[in-house]
Amino acid sequence: MAIDDANASVSRRGFLKAGAGATAAVGATGTAAAQEGNESDGGGGGGGSETVALTGDNVYDPEELYIAPGTTVTFDWTSDGHNIIVDSKPGDSDWEGHEPIENEGFTHEHTFEVLGDYEYYCSPHQSLGMEAVIHVTEGGQNPNAGGGGGGPTLPDSAMTMGVATMAALVSTLALAFFFIKYGGDYEMPE
């Protein structure tokens, strides 16, 4: 059977081109989605701002935050019945938290100037684990995160997309190998 314009799209070469194109498209889409879903301002550069949400899941989000001195943190109530009780702080810090229980829509701001750890909790929900800590460090970085400054971390969504893309690529290549090895244009005896 000869390959002509009518059946060229079903040739092995056409199949491989289509498979490679589809795999590349899936990979590019997944990478773009993972990057879009993980945008962040990267934590304090000093003089910046961060937000901590007091959520309906009875957690502070994030539960651990690294900021530089001079960063303003806005505590945003996204559900009812929370407060901020300071458990421990550096001795010369003036942060007192916010003891009155507030409801959704309330905000409280504080600019953290003193280096150190600020541990706090929500008194109505402490037994449920609603506790958090703010670390004020030079440069706003986690000193235990590894040396050399590292690079950007890989978010879970990007890892998932990478694994899915690799699985699609391997499947496509295995199928292509099968067709190349066992498929073919055999001429039928007349």
Rg (CA), the chain: 28
Do both 59 and 31 map to the same domain? no
189 found inside a domain: no
Q: pLDDT over 90 for what percent of the chain?
A: 52
Compute the average pLDDT of residues 37-50.
55
pLDDT band at 135 (very low <50, low <70, confident <90, very high): very high
Distance CA 88, CA 109 (A): 18
Q: pLDDT over 70 for what percent of the chain?
A: 67
Q: What is the pLDDT of residues 69-109, one digit of tens each?
A: 999 999 999 999 999 999 999 999 999 999 999 999 999 99
- Domain count across the chain: 2
User: Tell me, what CATH number does 85's domain have?
Assistant: 2.60.40.420
Res. 32: pLDDT tops 90: no
pLDDT band at 37 (very low <50, low <70, confident <90, very high): very low
- The angle subtended at Cα 80 by Cα 74 and Cα 81, nearest 5°, is 95
- Out of 30-34, 147-151, 175-179, 186-190, pick the least confident: 30-34
Do both 131 and 79 map to the same domain? yes
Domain hosting residue 167, numbered range: 8-38+155-182
Round the average pLDDT of the chain to a whole number and report it. 80
Do both 143 and 65 map to the same domain? yes
Do both 115 and 133 map to the same domain? yes
Do both 72 and 98 map to the same domain? yes
In this predicted structure, what is the pLDDT of residue 159? 82
66 found inside a domain: yes
Res. 185: pLDDT tops 70: no
13 found inside a domain: yes
Do both 102 and 169 map to the same domain? no
Do both 53 and 144 map to the same domain? yes
Do both 145 and 160 map to the same domain? no
Do both 135 and 96 map to the same domain? yes
What's the one-letter identity of residue 159?
M
72 found inside a domain: yes
17 or 67, greater pLDDT: 67
Do both 167 and 89 map to the same domain? no
Do both 79 and 107 map to the same domain? yes
